[in-house]
Amino acid sequence: MDIKSIGYVGVEVSPLAEWERFAKRLLACHVTHRTTPDDQKVLALRLDEKCHRLLLLEAGIEGNAFFGFELEDASALAEAKRELEAHGMAVEDATPAELALRQVGGMLHFREPAGYRLELFHSLQNDPEPFVPARPMKGFRTGDLGFGHAVLVVPDLDKSRDFYCDVLGFRVSDYLLEPNRRVFMHTNGRHHSIALSERQGFGIAHLMFEVKEFDDLGRAYDIALAEYPGAIFSTLGRHSNDHMTSFYIQTPGGFPIEYGWGGRIVDDATWTVSNVFGPSLWGHDRIGASPEARKAADVQREFALNHGITAPLYPDAGSLGS
Ligand SMILES: [Fe+2]
């Protein structure tokens, strides 16, 4: 099947109260409020003209999440259903209430091998109101590249990767093998829309939002340092595979968000899969990670330093992909 992007993510969080200030002040999202038919409060975080890119649902099962993968239209959705059922997947069609919350033209959902709820949809609606970030900034890099990326914890990397690639049509970008195995996969020009981290547990390792302007990354980092210093999960740094300059911050929902700028674009015609030496060229001190994981990243960063490894910058990144 031909998945175009990850269009939206939904996460159940508790409580919502702290989220609104965080989403506006630090993330600079356009925040709107909704209520489901059964009175569940929802914060809809907008990054662009779409009615939402991240839905935060109050109560429910904390950390419970769904991931919306975009297909072209209703016929692509019907074909995808046939393909999933041919692979033995139990697929369910969206209820009217689910469609109304997501504001999509059609949706089906199923559990992938690690147990995450994936949703295939078409026609995510634009909001009738223009996108207005909560503080002055130049916006987020979305469009054909989707909302950003999601990294999920899985118990069996090979099994999960095979599902995403063989059934859903993702392509491997590269691997990180130490201190645990991670695979990065793309379905459009974004280096990875989804990545999997093999370790014990279940849940979102992080979500990534990409801003269009480098200075907007710096301003968000200023706010993180001044107003949320205890929530910084990883300091400012630059990734060795997607070349994103970013920092990570723990959200009130318990999972980190990577706030980045300047990710590279993958061209399938010339791309070759590799094992990357480590996650970062510099920075990204993982102060929120386990001591072992933090130490491993320190050693890998030292490798980059000792070998003088650098990567190109993409100063026009913000104008591409939307
Ligand atoms: Fe990331």
| pLDDT tens readout for residues 232-245 | 999 999 999 999 99
Dihedral sign of CA atoms 153, 155, 161, 163 in order: negative
| Residue 3 Cα to ligand 1 middle (Å) | 20
| Residue 16 Cα to ligand 1 middle (Å) | 24
Tens of pLDDT along 194-219? 999 999 999 999 999 999 999 999 99
Burial of 268 (0-12, 13-18, 19+ CB in 10 A): exposed
Classify residue 137: in a domain, yes or no: no
Burial of 89 (0-12, 13-18, 19+ CB in 10 A): middle
pLDDT at position 320 is 56
294 plus 213 within the same structural domain: yes
Q: Does pLDDT of 71 surpass 70?
A: yes
30 plus 74 within the same structural domain: yes
116 plus 185 within the same structural domain: no
69 plus 215 within the same structural domain: no
The 3-state DSSP composition of the chain as helix, strand, coil percent (nearest 5) reads: 25, 35, 40
Classify residue 297: in a domain, yes or no: yes
101 plus 160 within the same structural domain: no
> Which of residues 61, 90, 122 is at a domain's end?
122
The DSSP 8-state label assigned to residue 190 in this structure reads: B
279 plus 188 within the same structural domain: yes
> What is the domain extent for residue 75?
5-122
Q: What is the mean pLDDT of residues 151-174?
A: 98
239 plus 202 within the same structural domain: yes
304 plus 209 within the same structural domain: yes
Q: Does pLDDT of 154 surpass 60?
A: yes
| Residue 34 Cα to ligand 1 middle (Å) | 28
Q: Does pLDDT of 57 surpass 50?
A: yes
Classify residue 300: in a domain, yes or no: yes
Classify residue 208: in a domain, yes or no: yes
Read off the pTM.
0.97
Beta strands in the chain (DSSP E): 5-13, 30-35, 41-46, 54-58, 65-70, 92-93, 106-111, 117-122, 149-154, 171-176, 182-186, 194-198, 203-211, 232-239, 245-250, 256-261, 274-276, 280-283
| Residue 194 Cα to ligand 1 middle (Å) | 9
| Residue 208 Cα to ligand 1 middle (Å) | 6
| Residue 28 Cα to ligand 1 middle (Å) | 19
3-state secondary structure of 30: strand
| Residue 305 Cα to ligand 1 middle (Å) | 21
> Which of residues 122, 153, 179 is at a domain's end?
122
Residue 163's nearest CA partner among 121, 202, 118, 208 is 118
296 plus 255 within the same structural domain: yes
Classify residue 136: in a domain, yes or no: no
174 plus 315 within the same structural domain: yes
pLDDT at position 262 is 97
| Residue 217 Cα to ligand 1 middle (Å) | 15
> Which residues sit with Cβ closer than 5 angstroms to ligand 1, an ion?
208, 258
Classify residue 192: in a domain, yes or no: yes
Tens of pLDDT along 279-322? 999 999 999 999 999 999 999 999 999 999 999 999 888 765 54
pLDDT at position 254 is 83
C-alpha distances (whole Å) from 163 to each of 87, 166, 170, 196 are 10, 5, 9, 12
| Residue 78 Cα to ligand 1 middle (Å) | 31
Residue 70, domain CATH: 3.10.180.10
Classify residue 102: in a domain, yes or no: yes
Classify residue 91: in a domain, yes or no: yes
149 plus 115 within the same structural domain: no
Beta strands in 16-161 (DSSP E): 30-35, 41-46, 54-58, 65-70, 92-93, 106-111, 117-122, 149-154
287 plus 167 within the same structural domain: yes
Provide the 10 A C-beta neighbour count for residue 254.
13
State how many domains the chain has. Answer: 2
Cis previous bond, 315, omega within 30 = no
